[in-house]
Structure 1
Amino acid sequence: MAKLYFYYASMNAGKSTTLLQADFNYRERGMRTLLFTAGVHDRGGKGMIDSRLGLQASAVPFEPDTDLRTIAEDAHFAATLACVLVDEAQFLSAAQVRQLAHLADEIGIPVLCYGLRTDFQGRLFPGSAELLALADSLVEIKSVCDCGRKATMNLRVDDGGNAIREGAQKEIGGNERYVALCRRHFMQRTGAAG
């Protein structure tokens, strides 16, 4: 039975690397995959999944109104898909998560989604919230805070390394813009500690 998986973590935990490794494993065995990534994510170029380790693969970019179900079904009926993999899954809409659940439930294609659980304010992304509610399997990929504890939060910083507390939920950036922290240090740096 195919399942909907949500692999979540803070920044710099290796989500894209893990996705690319899973894709490689399927393709090495002669199985066909379909990769999606958020259109807003363009660190390695639009429609590219890239890892900080230097791995990359082309993917279908999605926008909030992209019909993932139709794209995947068309690809599957043209030549059987063994798996659908989604990078930057936090940017999925709730409707798109339900489309992916349909692929697993009704078409029998495993769907592996990789993304952040929370934003820089410690709030769930809409796509992550829907995945946490609907996924058959929730898998946390571990990252480490500067103190050595498990990093679960994403702190947005300015050029001076100061915490940014306000702004748009979606802002693409890497190590120059985000720091993965444990909850304790996130709360201290954002002033949210009671």
Structure 2
Amino acid sequence: MAKLYFYYASMNAGKSTTLLQADFNYRERGMRTALFTASVDDRFAAGTIASRIGLSAPATMFDAATDLAALVVTDHAQAPLSCVLVDEAQFLTAVQVDQLARIADVHAIPVLAYGLRTDFRGALFEGSARLLALADALIEIKSVCTCGRKATMNLRVDAQGRAVAQGAQTEIGGEERYLALCRRHHAEALGG
């Protein structure tokens, strides 16, 4: 039975690297995969999943209007897919997560979704919330705070490195905009 997996972590924990390794493992065994990434993430080349350690692979971009189920079913009909891998899964809509669950349940294709659990304020993203509710398996990819504790929070910082407490939920950036911290140091940085 195929499952829906949610691999979650704070920023810079290696989610994309882990996804690309899983994709490599399937392809090395002669299996076909379908890769998806959020169109809103423009840090690298459009339609590319890229890791900070230099690995990358082409992917189909999605936005809130993308029918993932239709794309996967069409692709699967042309040649069987062994796995669907989704990067930046926090940007999925609840409807898209439901589609991914149906891909696993009805079409028997495992779905591996990788993303942030929470935003810089500690609030759940829509896609992450639905994945936490529906996924058959929840796997935390661990990262480390500057103090050595497990990093579970994402602190947004401005150009001078000062903590940002207000703003839009989505602001694309990497190490120059976000720090992975433990809950205690996240609260302290925000003055709490």
State TM-score, norm by structure 2.
0.99
Letter in 2 for 1:36: F
Q: State the distance in 1 between where 2:17 and 2:127 align.
A: 20
Please tell me whether the aligned partners of residues 42 and 48 of structure 1 are also in contact (alpha carbons under 8 angstroms): no
**Secondary structure, aligned partner of 1:169:** coil
Q: State the distance in 1 between where 2:172 and 2:19 align.
A: 19
Q: State the distance in 1 between where 2:161 and 2:42 align.
A: 23
Q: State the distance in 1 between where 2:23 and 2:41 align.
A: 19
Cα deviation per residue 1:67-100 (whole Å; 9 max; x = unaligned)? 0000000000110000000000000000000000
Which residue in 2 is equivalent to 1:20?
20
Q: State the distance in 2 between where 1:65 and 1:190 align.
A: 34
Structure 2 unaligned residues grouped into runs of 5+:
none
Which residue in 2 is equivalent to 1:115?
115
Q: How does 1:20-169 map to 2 (within 5 A)?
A: 20-169=20-169
1:44 Cα deviation after fit? 1.2
Cα deviation per residue 1:19-40 (whole Å; 9 max; x = unaligned)? 0000000000000000000000
1:46 Cα deviation after fit? 1.3
Q: State the distance in 1 between where 2:169 and 2:47 align.
A: 21
Letter in 1 for 2:145: C
Report the RMSD for the aligned CA atoms in angstroms. 0.5
Letter in 2 for 1:129: A
Letter in 1 for 2:118: T
1:190 Cα deviation after fit? 1.0
1:45 Cα deviation after fit? 1.4
Letter in 1 for 2:121: Q
Letter in 1 for 2:175: N
Q: State the distance in 2 between where 1:160 and 1:172 align.
A: 17
Letter in 1 for 2:38: A
Bigger Cα displacement from structure 2, 167-176 vs 16-25: 167-176
Letter in 2 for 1:134: L
Q: State the distance in 2 between where 1:190 and 1:114 align.
A: 27
Q: State the distance in 1 between where 2:98 and 2:65 align.
A: 13
Letter in 2 for 1:174: G
Cα deviation per residue 1:134-154 (whole Å; 9 max; x = unaligned)? 000000000000000000000
**Secondary structure, aligned partner of 1:57:** strand
Cα deviation per residue 1:77-127 (whole Å; 9 max; x = unaligned)? 110000000000000000000000000000000000000000001100000
Please tell me whether the aligned partners of residues 9 and 116 of structure 1 are also in contact (alpha carbons under 8 angstroms): yes
Please tell me whether the aligned partners of residues 93 and 126 of structure 1 are also in contact (alpha carbons under 8 angstroms): yes
**Secondary structure, aligned partner of 1:85:** strand
1:160 Cα deviation after fit? 1.1
**Secondary structure, aligned partner of 2:147:** coil
Q: State the distance in 1 between where 2:143 and 2:184 align.
A: 15
Percent of residue pairs identical: 70
Aligned length: 192
Q: State the distance in 2 between where 1:65 and 1:122 align.
A: 26
1:2 Cα deviation after fit? 0.1
